[in-house]
Amino acid sequence: MPFEEYYRYFRQWMEPEHERARRRFESTLLFFKNQKVSASSVLDLCAGTGIAGAAAAKAFSASKLTLVDVRKEDLEKVREWLGIAEVNPELRLVAGDVLQLPELVEEHDLAVLWGHTMPHFDPFDAVRLFSGVASVLDEGGYFFIEEPDRIGRFLYNRMYRDFTVERTGAETIVSIHEGYDVRKGVERRGYYILPGFKKMAEMELRARDLASLLAIGRIFFRDANLITPSEHGVSGVSEVLVFRRPKRRIAGEVYSEFQSFTRV
């Protein structure tokens, strides 16, 4: 079952008419405004409805905004976010796989992966992602990732649950641990609708620690940094990884190799 079905039930985080989504937009905008960064072109990856892309375009006064997501129907929503932000950059919407980024987009100044998206990428795909992003950024380009440290939360703070209530309301969504793939390093998790216990989605997820992401990023970027919530002080924004100055030659070589890579 595609994970698109999952996101159909969690629109309050994405739709411009929802207060929770608007709060996400405002907190993201504030975070980017506090960064001493210049960018005329912004690339929003796994963009959804484009909350982060619109916020970045506003904060950095970007003249160009590109969104990439497999969920084509969500991408058009960014026009509403741009209206809320009162900006009108040149807009390009790309319905495609971010793991094939160099085939989809041209060079940009800044890329964002916002909203705790990294669990969707297994360790091999994470390398494809980082190398692809580094390949399409200019020499001084930035890559921002918003992502919490799930290993710290799950293992040391003991927040992991085999059975989790994901959403309540007229319909309750629960998720259940259904296995682990040792070759891919991912958990298999099923999502069910109550009452009735109808399976609505299943996903493979990879819990990560931020140090590992910093290490991967440092292979493809000359600068790597972590900004914690206590450091950036913006409510509604978790830890943010910041990478700068891509190593484009290395990134291109690794990207090409991993495109044909076959898991053991």
Query: Same structural domain for residues 109 and 40?
Result: yes
Mean pLDDT of 206-231: 98
What is the model's pLDDT at position 1? Answer: 45
Q: Return all residues near 26 (Cβ < 8 A) that are at least 6 apart.
A: 236
Query: Same structural domain for residues 138 and 167?
Result: no
- Both structure tokens of 144: 């921002």
What is the model's pLDDT at position 2? Answer: 55
What is the model's pLDDT at position 38? Answer: 93
Query: Same structural domain for residues 221 and 179?
Result: no
The rounded distance, in Å, linking the Cα atoms of 52 and 30 is 11
Query: Same structural domain for residues 188 and 222?
Result: no
82-95 pLDDT tens trace: 999 999 999 999 99
Query: Same structural domain for residues 44 and 111?
Result: yes
Mean pLDDT of 47-52: 96
* Domain containing residue 12: CATH number: 3.40.50.150
Name the 3-class secondary structure at 252: helix
Determine contact, residues 43/68, Cβ cutoff 8 Å: yes
Q: Which of 128, 183, 192, 146 shows the shortest CA–CA distance to 165?
A: 192
Q: Give a yes or no: residue 25 inside a domain.
A: yes
What is the model's pLDDT at position 223? Answer: 98
Q: Give a yes or no: residue 76 inside a domain.
A: yes
Query: Same structural domain for residues 190 and 214?
Result: no
Query: Same structural domain for residues 27 and 122?
Result: yes
| Residue range of the domain that includes 174 | 161-205
- Predicted TM-score (pTM) of this structure: 0.94
Q: Give a yes or no: residue 17 inside a domain.
A: yes
What is the model's pLDDT at position 259? Answer: 85
Query: Same structural domain for residues 125 and 193?
Result: no
Mean pLDDT of 220-234: 98
What is the model's pLDDT at position 262? Answer: 64
pLDDT band at 37 (very low <50, low <70, confident <90, very high): very high
Q: Give a yes or no: residue 263 inside a domain.
A: no
Query: Same structural domain for residues 64 and 145?
Result: yes
Query: Same structural domain for residues 179 and 241?
Result: no
Domain count, the chain: 2
- Both structure tokens of 133: 């992003």
What percent of the chain clears pLDDT 70, i.e. is strictly above it? Answer: 95
